[in-house]
Structure 1
């Protein structure tokens, strides 16, 4: 009987646990569907990530628990997030910090309750690719190229394909056209979508002073917003 209790405890530990500090990953780490987390301090930008992915790392099959997602995942270079799920996004789900020529690839997975944004893009000259059936619900934005980071001055790129959204309050993507950012969007499905609700590719005039960037409005089929009305459908 005691042995059975011991085994049950091991099963619980394998399926849901908390860590007190950031976990650094190199190579490939498959959590096998386990739920993990640290803490959450609302929209505080001083929070540490739950996971820090070194250049070339892959994070697979993990759930970041509600109330424990902190600043999510930080990607230092190229990285892959495969079937990563956020039960309740805290600050941001994932931040791309990798520089020129680096790519964060998000394939599958899901994110819920991101009051601001799901994916934050800081690294210049890098790309975030979101697809593989990724799903997000009750979010501000799916993606934002940093509008007022001190390193702003050149382009960032985002590619979105085969993504489904439900409940977007502040536009699907936000990019800074004055720096040459480029968003390429195909096969995007949005619950109850109607033209302009939500806005899809929202453009901004970014800065590096920390000031709030000014919005330049939603754009379609431009060199910065590579998306046609036929690329976005309602479900």
Structure 2
């Protein structure tokens, strides 16, 4: 089943709303379990997001409709996504675009059926923190630091912090970071369905670039400066 009983009940109780335009969020907006969406053009990177979160914004208790998740949520600075569920990820669930020192907090919620990655990290010097029981199912990667953005530079390291997250069905890796740019992934209390070491890979390092070329994988890493994780931080269920 795609949803837990609790989440399935939430979706059934939600009021479905559709929009053809991106909604911009300032301050705190609580959708009280409503289902929203716009459209989906597969893996097209040119499609607009469903929501844009301005610096300081919080979005809470919303289900983004399957077949209508577009490019998910764009975060422009410090922001918080609390109990947000993507019923079927279209391109990316959320993208961090905030600058140095900003943080995108992802507390709870869930993402289902991401052909590629769930969280895309573009903003130089910023952080994505995923915690509070977030759940991912049937995904390529949970997180990827942009491997070939034209803005990539060694002075703009990106960080991801993952704690108390549960995953089921990871086809590529949990996270991908660019070690040559100083990116770091710190992972604790991660539960993965049927995990054995190497399947799926947990933290994969890449040599990123700013030319648009495909990044070079350096393989799965454990206990390094960039991949701050040990096997004791991972639990199979």
Give the TM-score range, shorter chain. Answer: over 0.9
* Residue correspondences, number: 224
Residue 55 (structure 2) aligns with: 55
Q: Which structure is larger by alpha-carbon Rg, 1 or 2?
A: 1
How many angstroms does 1:222 deviate by?
0.7
- Whole-angstrom distance in 2 between the partners of 1:38 and 1:124: 28
Residue 103 (structure 1) aligns with: 103
How many angstroms does 1:82 deviate by?
0.2
User: Where do 5+ consecutive residues of structure 1 fail to align?
Assistant: 1-11
Residue 198 (structure 2) aligns with: 196
Alignment of 1:105-144 (within 5 A): 105-144=105-144
Residue 206 (structure 1) aligns with: 208
- Whole-angstrom distance in 1 between the partners of 2:77 and 2:151: 16
Asked if 1:173 is matched to 2:157, the reply is no
Asked if 1:32 is matched to 2:32, the reply is yes
- In the superposition, the TM-score normalised over structure 1's length comes to 0.94
- Runs of 4+ deviating beyond 3 Å: none
How many angstroms does 1:167 deviate by?
0.2
Asked if 1:182 is matched to 2:184, the reply is yes
For residues 164-184 of structure 1, give each alpha carbon's deviation from its aligned partner in whole angstroms, at most 9, with x where no partner exists.
Answer: 000000100000000000000
- Whole-angstrom distance in 1 between the partners of 2:235 and 2:125: 30
Residue 92 (structure 2) aligns with: 92
- Whole-angstrom distance in 1 between the partners of 2:215 and 2:229: 23
User: Where do 5+ consecutive residues of structure 2 fail to align?
Assistant: 1-11
How many angstroms does 1:42 deviate by?
0.2
- In the superposition, the TM-score normalised over structure 2's length comes to 0.93
- Whole-angstrom distance in 1 between the partners of 2:112 and 2:85: 8
Q: CA RMSD in A?
A: 1.2
